[in-house]
Amino acid sequence: MSSAGDLTIHRVTKTHHGRTLLTLGHAAEYLAHSRKYSTQRFDHAAEAEAIHILMGLSRGVFEEFAERRTLGRRFEGWVIEPAVRLFE
């Protein structure tokens, strides 16, 4: 271990969306790096397509999560704002 300590970025995933994003990200990263130094022949177009599919799925999960968070914040604002005005 270096004297600088652990420089690894640890992702905290407490939600289903977070775990799904992490899994999709790892899968895309694995595909991108697994054959980088391979001497075997493989279909580059198919691999690129698979990575794009995983990225699209990741984007969809992220957008779904962001949409739910936005709706939750709207609801919180609807409930909390009147309470704050009451105490002002």
Residues 79-88 pLDDT 10s: 666 766 676 6
Quick: pLDDT tens for 35-45. Answer: 777 788 878 88
Residue 54 located in a structural domain: yes
Single-letter amino acid code for the residue at 11: R
pTM of this structure:
0.57
Mean pLDDT of 65-81: 68
Residue 64 located in a structural domain: yes
Residue 4 located in a structural domain: no
Single-letter amino acid code for the residue at 30: Y
* Residues of the domain holding 81: 16-87
Name the DSSP class of 1: -
Confidence of residue 50 (pLDDT cuts 50, 70, 90): very high
Residue 3 located in a structural domain: no
Residue 9 located in a structural domain: no
Residue 31 located in a structural domain: yes
Q: What domain count does the chain have?
A: 1
Spatial distance between the Cα atoms of 44 and 33, rounded to a whole number of angstroms = 12
Tokens of 86: 């009451």
Residue 5 located in a structural domain: no
Q: Is the pLDDT of residue 63 over 80?
A: yes
